[in-house]
Amino acid sequence: AKAEGRRCYHFYTSEMDAALQERMELDQAMRQALERNEFHLVYQPRVDLVSGCVLSLEALVRWRHPQWGMISPGRFIPLAEETGFILALGPRILRQACEQIRAWKARGIPTVPVAVNLSAREFQQPDIIERILAALNNTGLDACDLEIEITESAAMSSVEQTIRILTDLNGHGVRVSIDDFGTAYSSLNYLKRLPVHAIKIDQSFVSDMKVDPANHPEDAAIIRAIIGLGETLGMKVIAEGIENTVQRDFLLDHGCLQGQGYLFSRPVPAEAVEQLLVNAKTP
């Protein structure tokens, strides 16, 4: 038994080594990728669920590695957040989004606001407000051209600081949405004090509505509760991950009027979204 235990232990450490090795490789590659401009943004429309009008776009980062191909942000953003690399990548994402809006405007393309995701670590930087305002200033944009998304868990990790930052951003006219709503444990008392434009229902709740919402009464109840909360607090409610009309109709029936998802559009490169902006009905 002892020998076996030791073997197991040995096996376990080599697994850990492999995982650590992979993380170090990925971290190294990310730093190179920034210099080599391997990161770019794609954009997903947020639409009015009744009319289908494009209301805004969410910018999502993509990494195309020359050998490994596409690496999903779900893999590298959490690592970038842990190692601090996000503090180098984040500003580039913000700048790239602002420059894209400016380019569209310069060409007379009718733009909608673009929402940029800020990770918890970026959001906690003492100069975050200055950085956002500088990004707008440097590209000559208005505050209403840009929106910010922070996750519920990031917003709630240091609530008094969040209230200060959001109040300040709000004062400058920059709208903030709470992402992945329903996955953390927000105190409603705090939520009430946050000057938040919108809450985004986490897609885990929406994904179970795909076939038969009646079979998922708990998720349905949570969705209804979030919609009610948004109404009460005067915040817009946006559903994520809408892939079919069953989900859309369930949401509409319960008073959720805005959403994103593959049903309307996948996240697409700037050139493709441009076509959408030119052709699509905007309000």
List the beta bridge partners of residue 63: 39, 71
Report how many residues bind Ca ion under the rule CB under 5 A: 5
CB of 117 or CB of 139, closer to Ca ion: 117
Separation CA 17–CA 194 (nearest Å) = 43
Q: With contacts defined by CB under 6 A, name the span among 139-147, 165-173, 219-227, 239-247 that binds ligand C2E.
A: 239-247
Question: Is residue 71 classed exposed, middle or buried when 0-12, 13-18 and 19+ CB atoms within 10 A define those classes?
Answer: middle
CB of 7 or CB of 81, closer to ligand C2E: 81
DSSP letter for each residue of 76-132: HHHHHHHHSTHHHHHHHHHHHHHHHHHHHHHTT-----EEEE--HHHHT-TTHHHHH
Q: Which of 74, 108, 234, 283 contacts ligand C2E by CB under 6 A?
A: 74
Radius of gyration of the chain measured on its C-alpha atoms: 21
**Shortest CB 91 distance to Ca ion, Å:** 18
The tokens for 137 are 């200033």
Question: Is residue 184 classed exposed, middle or buried when 0-12, 13-18 and 19+ CB atoms within 10 A define those classes?
Answer: middle
| Chain residues 49-68 in contact with ligand C2E, contact rule CB under 6 A | 59-61
CB of 14 or CB of 245, closer to ligand C2E: 245
Site membership for ligand C2E, residue 219 (CB under 6 A): no
| Chain residues 130-169 in contact with Ca ion, contact rule CB under 5 A | 149
Enumerate binding residues for Ca ion (CB under 5 A): 117, 149, 179-180, 240
Enumerate binding residues for ligand C2E (CB under 6 A): 44, 59-61, 72-74, 77, 93, 117-119, 179-180, 203, 240-243, 260-262, 267
